[in-house]
Structure 1
Amino acid sequence: MASRAGEEVFVQSLTKLLQNYGDSVLSGTSTLSLLTVGLQVLHQLFEQHLLARKYQHGFVALPSHPSDTASVLDVQFLFDVLQKTVSLKLAHPPGPSLQTPVRIFAFKSLRFLELKQVPPHCLEGLRGVYTRLEILVCSRCIHTVEEIISVCGGDLSSALPWLDLHTLNFSNNFITSLDSSLGLLNVLRTLDLSHNQIRDCAENLKLLAELEYVNLSYNILEKVPVFNPCSRVQLVTLLLRNNELEDISGLEHLTHLKCLDLAFNMISKHGSLAQLSHLHRLKELFLEGNPVYYQRNHRASTIYHLSPKAAFLRLVLDGEALTMADLTNLPKSGRLLSHTGRHSPRNSMLKNVLESSISSEQNDRQHSPDGIGGTLMRKKVNV
C-alpha cells in the first residue's frame, strides 16, 4: 500500500485532474482510468473520513457542512465524482498479481466498465452495478464466463439477468469453453471472445437471441458455432479468423451475414465452401491463409460457390471487389442474371456499380476483421 505522503499526493493530483476535466467524466465522453492500488487508497479514505458507508446502497449524501480540512474536502469531492462516474477502466499494473480486494462500491452510475489484469475473486461490488452496465470489457483476468456473469466476481452471489448489457468483450483471456451463464445476457448484441483457447462453443451461443456481431478469432475452434434461430436472421458479422476449421457446415443458416472472416483456418477444398451460396447478403469474405488460398485457381473456384446475388452486389473477396470478369466464374445458372434484362436500367446500374464504383468502394470500406463493432470511442483520463 502507498505511504501516507504518497496517498496525499495521489489524492491532490486526482482532485485537480477531475476539477479540470470532471465534466467529460460525468457525461461519459471520457473514461476514468485508475490503477487498482489507487482505488484501494480511495476506498480506505472513504471509509475513514466519510463514516462506515460500505454497506449503504444507492447515492450517499455528503454532509451539508463539509469539513474545513483541505484533505477531507478533497476526499468528499472525489467520492461525489465517483458516485456519478459513467465510464471506468480499472487496471492492475505488471508485476505481482493482485491479492487483496479492490472494491467498486462507490460507483453508482457505471454504464461502461473495463477490467484489465484484475482477478475476478478480488473484485467486490459488481453486484451493485451490473444491472446498469451497457458495455463490459475484461482482459488478462478470467478463465470462465461464469465467474463474472453469473457469480459477479468476488461478490460470489447469483446474478439475475444483465438488463442493459449490449456489448461484452472478453478477448485476450484464458477461456477454454463457454457456459450457460450466457443465458443471463438477454439483450447482448456484440460479443468478442477472440484471443482465447476455445475449442467448442457447444450449444451455449444458442442462448443469445439478439446477436449482431460475433468475434471468435484466434481460438482453436474445429467447427462453426451453432446460433439461436433468432440471431440467425440478425447476425451480420462473424469473425472466425485463425481457428482450425476444415469446413464451414452450419454457415448456410446465417443468411443475413454481411461480413464473414474465415482467414487462416484449415480449409483445403473449395468444395467445402458450398454453403456460401446461401449467403445472399454477403458483402465481405476473407479466406487468405487457408490451404485453398494458395491453389492456382483459388479466386475463380471460390466465386463459383458464391451466391450470384451477393456476387453481383460488389462482394469483396480477400480485400478485392469482384470485377465483371470475375462474375464469369459463377455457375451458368448464376450468370443468367447478367443476361436477364441486359438493356434494363437495373442491369446498367449493376454494371456501372461493378466497373466504375469499385475504386470508391475500396476507399469507403476500411474493414478491420479483428476489431469489435460498436465500441464506444472515448478519451481516457489516465491516473
Structure 2
Amino acid sequence: MSFNKQNQNHKNYLMLVEFCKFLRQNGDKLFDKDSKLCLRSDQLTVLHEYLQQIIHRDRLSHENTDKYSRRKSSVLNLTNTKEFILLYQSNQLHFIQDFLFKITSLKITSNLGQTSINDSIRLNIFGSITYLELKNIPVLNIYDLENLRKQLETLIAFKSIAKVQDLIQSCGADQSSPSSWPKLNTLKLSYNYLSSLDDSFRLAASIEVLDLSHNNLKNCEQFLHNLPKLKRINLSFNKLEEIPSISESESTSQLEYLDLSYNNIEKINASSKL
C-alpha cells in the first residue's frame, strides 16, 4: 500500500470517528422537526464506501462457505486495514449505519471550494428519508433516488438540474421507469438551469408547494395542469412573457399564492386561467 493511500485511510478513519462522536452527542437533535443532517459529497462517499464494507464483512462472518471469498474483489479492499478493523470491532460503523438508516432529513452539498462535483453519490445507506436537499449536486450523479420516491415529502434541488424529468421521471442516474411520488408535497427547484418544463409533473400530482424561481423559463405551456393540488407557486425571476395557465378550470384550482415578480410580463390577459 502506498503512503498516500495509508494517509487517506487514516484521514477517513479520523473523519468517521469524529462523525460517530457527533452523532452520539447530537443524534436526538437531528430527529427534531426542523433539523437535518448536512453532509458534503466527499463525506458521503467515504461513509458509503465504509458501510458497504461492513455489509460484505458481515456476510463473510456469517457464511461458512468460500463463495464470498471468491468475490472479494475491490469491494473489500478496506476490510484488512487497521483503520477499518478498529472501526468495525468498536461497533462505530454499525452505529453509524443504524443511525443513517433512521435519519429522516438530509442535505447534501458539494465539497468545500467546489461549485459542483463529478463523483457519483449513492443514497442506498438511507432508508427513512422524507426530506432531501441537494445543493450543487448534479442530479445525474445521484443513484438510488428511485428507492426514496415513494416516501419523500420534500425535495429541494439547488443548482442541480437542467430538466425536471431528469429528477422526477428518471430519478437522476438511476434512469428508472416512470413511477409516482405519492407523498411529495413540496418541490423547490430555484436557482437551477431550467429553460422549459415537461410532463413529468404528472408523476407528482400531490405537490402543493412549487418553487421554480430564478430559472430561465419563458413559458410553462400546460404542464402545471398536472398539479391539481397546487396551492403555492413561485415563478419569480424567470423570463415569462405571459401569465401561465395553472389549472384547466378556475373552479377546480386550489391556488392561494402566485409570485410572478421579475419576469417579462407586459400585459395581463383578462381571460388568463390561474
Q: Is the pair's TM-score, using the shorter chain for normalization, greater than 0.5?
A: yes
Task: Identify the residue that residue 237 of structure 1 maps to in structure 2.
Answer: 257
> 2:230 maps to which residue?
211
Q: Distance in 2 between matches of 1:109 and 1:44?
A: 20
Partners in 2 of 1:235 and 1:178 — Cα distance?
A: 19
Q: Secondary structure at the residue paired with 1:50?
A: helix
Partner Cα distance (2:35, 2:216) in 1: 32
Alpha carbons of 1:19 and 1:241: their partners in 2 closer, same or farther (altered >3 Å)?
A: same
The residue number in structure 1 matching 2:110 is 92
Deviates more, 1:76-85 or 1:94-103: 94-103
Counterpart among 92, 99, 104 of residue 123 in structure 2: 104
CA pair 9-175 structure 1, distance change in 2 beyond 3 A: same
Partner of 1:305 in structure 2? none
SS at match of 2:218: coil
Tell whether 2:70 aligns with 1:51.
no
Change in 2 beyond 3 A, CA 1:84/1:230:
farther
Once superposed, which parts of structure 1, at least 4 consecutive aligned residues long, lie more than 3 Å away?
Answer: 26-29, 229-233, 250-254
Deviations 1:295-318 (A, max 9, x none): xxxxxxxxxxxxxxxxxxxxxxxx
Question: Is residue 2:133 matched to residue 1:114?
Answer: yes
**Segment of structure 1 superposing worse, 231-240 or 139-148:** 231-240
Q: CA RMSD in A?
A: 2.1
Q: Residues 26 and 84 of structure 1 are in contact (CA less than 8 Å); yes or no, is this contact kept in structure 2? A: no
CA distance in 2, matches of 1:21, 1:47: 24
Do 1:226 and 1:250's aligned partners in 2 also have CA atoms closer than 8 Å? no
Aligned counterpart in structure 2 of residue 41 of structure 1, from 39, 46, 54? 46
TM-score (norm 1): 0.60
- Report percent identity of matched pairs: 32
**91-100 or 213-222: bigger deviation:** 91-100
Q: Which residue of 1 aligns with 2:87?
A: 71
Matched to 2:232, the amino acid is Y
Deviations 1:276-304 (Å, cap 9, x if unpaired)? xxxxxxxxxxxxxxxxxxxxxxxxxxxxx
Distance 1:24 1:251 in 2: 50
Structure 1 stretches lacking a partner, 5+ long: 54-68, 255-383
Displacement after TM superposition at 1:249 (Å)? 1.7
Question: Offset of 1:49 from its aligned partner?
Answer: 2.1
AA aligned opposite 2:261: R
Q: Counterparts of 2:208 and 2:16 in 1: how far apart (Å)?
A: 38
Candidates 170, 175, 191, aligned match of 1:156: 175
SS in 2 for 1:15: helix
Q: 1:21: how far off? A: 1.1
The count of aligned residue pairs is 240
Alpha-carbon distance in 2 for matches of 1:249, 1:177: 22
CA contact (8 A) 2:184 2:204 kept: yes
CA distance in 1, matches of 2:178, 2:150: 9
* Aligned residue number for residue 19 of structure 2: 14
Name the CA distance, whole Å, in 1 between partners of 2:270 and 2:225: 13
Q: CA deviation at 1:95?
A: 2.5
Q: TM-score, normalised by structure 2?
A: 0.82
Is 1:198 aligned to 2:217, yes or no?
yes
- Residue 97 of structure 1 deviates from its aligned partner by 3.6
Name the SS for the 1:88 alignment partner.
strand
